[in-house]
Structure 1
Amino acid sequence: MQNKRVLIITYYWPPSGGSGVQRWLKFAKYLPEFGWEPVIFTPENPDFELKDESLLKEINPLLEVLKFPIWEPYGLFRKLKKQKSGDTSKVLEKKKKGWLDKLGIWLRANVFIPDPRVFWVKPSVNFLTDLVQKGQFHAIITTGPPHSMHLIGLQLHEKTGIPWLADFRDPWSKWEFLDTLPMTSIVRRKHDKLEQKVLFQASAITTISPSFKMDFEKMIDKKTELLTNGFDTEDLPLNWIERLPSKDGIEILYTGVVDAIRNPDPFLIAFKKAFETSGKKVKVRFVGKVSETLEKMVAQDIWLRNHVVMEGYVSHEKVFDFYAKAHLLLLVLTDTKNAKGNIPGKLFEYIATGRPVVALGDPKGDAAKILQTAGAGQVFSHKDIKGIQNFLENFIPQAEFQVSREIQKYSRKNLTGQLAGILERISIK
């Protein structure tokens, strides 16, 4: 029996790096095993800073990928600032902003609704409508942020009636990121109306955490499906559990982004208090893009300079070399209104390595519950510096590691089976 075809509309696709691309890269990998043939629709020339060329190797050569040109305002912004390149997201983190920075932030907040990728909506709908009407797909999926992707799904669904799944990796109107923007009340209401329309019209809604699921269901009397992120067993190197770190000292590893809403400062303060006078050989290693604020904090402290290493961004496959050297993994969750539902995709990969996890976040949040159930680690409040210090002082590196059986339900293959079940349900005519 021939597989059904599903169109996945996503802004992030290899060589884009970071957690945003992993979710649908993995779903696309395993969907054919569950009777669905994915077709990817993604920008031909997207404007993103993080790139991971190694992820290109994970794309099945038989996978159909449709690429369509996009125009984004970031290039114009850099041209006005006379910059050839640069990470536009760091503008928000700058303490001293010039008039052009302030203008750019205001435009981002109040003109580009719901986000700067909105200019891709109309041409994408025009391009895809004919393909959908010819019956090439049995369903479509949109994933956001950027939430402009959902507007493409909305219009295709309205025009053709095709079953449509809207996937939310982050909230929309309640997204903490929007609170960092100087947004007018009128624009806030526009976000609310667009979100309500998407939620009401979508054939199915999925999101990554129980708290986000509850929030969406409060907004509209409609079921939201929980479809968490996970880990891919095939990413783990062979004989992984036998790769043990050095018995000399304690190495703590953080992987991923450090930005304005993911702040490791409380952990570093506790880390210094715990070990400054102990004489132990200790190190915290950051692998990924970090904020200028963190770089300055470490640079200005002699002890931290000697015990904190910034490795910069590396490919996903190289991250496992750092996991192998680590005795303890650090997870920094947000300390904002979305903190309870904040479950980073790397949490599941952390647990799958067998290394214990120490986290900053909501001790009663969704991520804390997953860690507790798996017996994989502990979450401390950002304010609980004393608690973190005590944990570190009493931490004993393990001679061997064990992977919790609880993690198996979060394998990418198992999760794809759940996704396929949702697609089957909404595509039945």
Structure 2
Amino acid sequence: MNFLAISFPFPPMALPRSIQVARLLSGLGSAVTLICAETDAIKLDGTIYPDAEREIEKLVRVKYTAPLLGKQFSRVLYRLSRKRWNERYRNPDQYRSWSTPVLETVTGLLEIEKPRFDCIVTFGQPFTCHMIGLELKRRLSLPWVAYFSDPWIENQFNEYDSHARELNLRSESLVLQQADMVLMNSSETIDLVFSKYPVELKDKARVLPHAFDEELFKEASSPASDRLLIRHIGEFYGPRTPYPVLRALLHARKVDSTRYEDVTFEFIGPYDLGPELDEILSDPLLPDVRFGGRISYLESLAAMGQSDGLLLIDAPSEQSVFLPSKLIDYIGSGKPICGITPPGTANSLIREIGGLTADPLDLECIERVLADFVDQVRDRKHSADKLPWGRQDVRSRFARAAVQSQFSEYLVECIKSSGR
């Protein structure tokens, strides 16, 4: 099988999608030609699969250059005309100018090397990759698989106004209609995204979850200290904050000042939370709570493996279809998980594997669940149980080899159903 893949992120870009694409495509066992971006606009992390490029049959990096004075121009245009700003930066995203050089690169490959591709695979986000796939489908008439790491229109973090939503709904509709197969990381995401389309369109959708790489967790162990170390690893931004957990800890200590005396809560990753954080951290009743900055990807995996328990904190919402790739890495670490996450995909998975959850808006429930979680983590630390935590049948679904195998099966299915 020989396929053409389009993904803006790829190592060493410090993006979750970069990690997942490398984990899926490198060492897949198929002939892969991957076109990805080369840019100074995104932070790099050399610890993310440094050998991935050598494990792809052909990798072409196509330059993406952020416009000079881009931020200043964006701010001015936003003030002058929100409509024009949407068309430039939200149609579908700020990387749309990457489409032209990518299409030119594909044309050059076909002219010079005459590869015979069996299908096209595009990875979004950014959704510019799917717009490239749409044009390649038109030009080459090849089977096309479109993978969505997150919902497009229903993603609360996109914060579309009515005009931007209209533009992107039109693009999403074209992609879902023209793609031969659509992959999403949960059945809940599929249900949500396709709920606004004719029911038969959903027949082309399949579930392909994120994966963890067990090879990267070989050194996992609990801290030698008698103290418990509970960690959250990842960035806080927008509505995703540590405040629900911090408030619950503070309230618990006001009720019982000895609670959590043997526990350190550590939040690792970028954050910009303002003066409220300083106010909470200055309260003498708060237990041992620490904040650290950005670390490399491999350091983050080591931090997971060298903790006693892990916290997942999501933004509040009535229902969440998001399946964070970080949660799958948490599962790979084999450490107990507690999710402060709304009803939905992540919540259900944490419960299925044996973890505890609480809604970010329910302070009383968070306080109770954190207390139960710490008790469970303490019991596990003091027991002789050294096996990876969680139901093994659930863990195995997200192992890299299993997800790669499922991906290959989907590609074969797509190619065969197209009659090629």
* TM bracket, shorter-chain basis: 0.7 to 0.9
| 1:332 matched residue in structure 2 | 313
Q: 1:239-388 counterparts in 2 under 5 A?
A: 240=220, 243-275=221-253, 277-278=257-258, 280-290=261-271, 292-293=272-273, 296-301=275-280, 302-303=282-283, 307-336=288-317, 339-362=319-342, 364-375=343-354, 377-388=355-366
Whether 2:176 is the aligned partner of 1:210: answer no
1:320–1:116 distance in 2 versus 1, CA, 3 Å: closer
Residue of structure 1 equivalent to 2:35: 41
Say whether 1:59 aligns with 2:52.
yes
- Give the counterpart letter for 2:405 in structure 1: G
Cα RMSD of the aligned pairs, angstroms, is: 2.5
1:27 aligns with 2:5: no
Report the Cα distance in structure 2 between the residues aligned to 1:374 and 1:38, rounded to whole angstroms: 34
From 82, 88, 91, give the equivalent of 1:111: 88
Q: What are the equivalent positions in structure 2 for 1:388-407 lying under 5 Å apart? A: 388-394=366-372, 395-396=374-375, 397=378, 398-399=380-381, 400-403=385-388, 404-405=391-392, 406-407=394-395
1:101 Cα deviation from its structure 2 partner: 9.7
What is the deviation of 1:245?
A: 2.1
Q: Which residue of 1 aligns with 2:214?
A: 233
Q: Deviations over 1:73-123 (max 9, x none)?
A: 4x5234x49xxxxxx9xxxxxxxxxx6596499465443211111111123
Tell me the alpha carbon deviations over residues 384-417 of structure 1, each in whole angstroms, 9 at most, x when there is no partner. Answer: 1112212333422122453231201111110111
Whether the aligned pair in 1 keeps the contact of 2:2 and 2:32 (CA below 8 Å) is yes
CA distance in structure 2 between the partners assigned to 1:321 and 1:62 by the alignment: 24
Asked if 2 retains the 8 angstrom alpha-carbon contact of 1:245 and 1:324, the reply is no
Name the CA distance, whole Å, in 2 between partners of 1:407 and 1:289: 28
- 1:26 Cα shift? 0.4
Q: Which residue of 2 aligns with 1:84?
A: none
Q: TM-score, normalised by structure 1?
A: 0.84
**Matched residues in 2 for 1:175 and 1:278: separation?**
41
Shift of 1:319: 1.9
1:205 is paired with a residue whose SS is strand
Name the structure 2 match of 1:159.
Answer: 139
SS in structure 2 at match of 1:31 = coil
| Mapped partners of 1:131, 1:163: distance in 2 | 18
Q: Which moved more, 1:281-290 or 1:402-411?
A: 281-290
For the residue of structure 1 that corresponds to 2:122, the secondary structure is strand
Per-residue deviation, residues 339-382 of structure 1 (Å, max 9, x unmatched)? 421111121221232221111112x411122122211x111111
Secondary structure (helix, strand or coil) at the match of 2:320 reads helix
SS of the residue aligned with 1:166? strand
Deviations along 1:233-273, one digit per CA (max 9) or x if unpaired, are 111124x3xx2224533322011121103222111111222
Question: Counterpart in 1 of 2:7?
Answer: 10
Contact 2:99 2:128 (8 Å CA) reproduced: yes
Question: What TM-score comes out, normalization by structure 2 length?
Answer: 0.86
Aligned equivalents of 1:100, 1:308: Cα separation in 2: 41
Read off the aligned partner of 2:236 and give its amino acid letter: V
8 Å CA contact 2:217, 2:302 repeated in 1: no
In 2, distance between residues paired with 1:136 and 1:56?
Answer: 28
Amino acid at match of 1:300: E
Kindly indicate whether the alpha-carbon contact (under 8 Å) linking 1:253 and 1:326 is maintained by their aligned counterparts in 2: yes
State the secondary structure of the residue aligned to 2:129. helix
| Counterparts of 1:391 and 1:311, CA distance in 2 | 24
Report the alpha carbon displacement of residue 308 of structure 1 after superposing the two structures with TM: 2.6
- SS of 2:34's equivalent? strand
For residues 127-142 of structure 1, the aligned pairs below 5 Å read 127-132=105-110, 134-142=114-122
Code of the residue aligned with 2:350 in structure 1: it is L
Q: 1:94 — aligned with what?
A: none
Amino acid at match of 1:178: N
| 3-state SS of paired residue (1:336) | coil
Distance (whole Å) between structure 1 residues aligned to residue 77 and residue 268 of structure 2: 28
Separation (CA, whole Å) in 1 of partners of 2:116 and 2:80: 40
CA contact (8 A) 1:262 1:332 kept: yes
The alignment partner of 1:329 has SS state of strand
Counterpart Cα distance in 2 of 1:264 and 1:207: 28
Preserved contact between residue 154 and residue 201 of structure 1 (Cα < 8 Å): yes
In 2, the alpha carbon distance for the partners of 1:426 and 1:104 equals 46
Using the aligned pairs only, state the percent identity. 21
Q: CA deviation at 1:52?
A: 1.3
Aligned to 1:92: none
Deviation at 1:160, TM superposition (A): 0.8
Q: Which runs of 5+ in 1 are unaligned?
A: 82-87, 89-98
Whose RCO is larger (CA < 8 A, sep 6+)?
Answer: 1
Aligned residue identity for 2:60: L
Q: 1:22 offset after TM fit, Å? A: 1.5
Residue 284 to residue 103, structure 1, CA distance change in 2 (3 Å): farther
Contact 1:246/1:325, CA 8 A, preserved across alignment: no
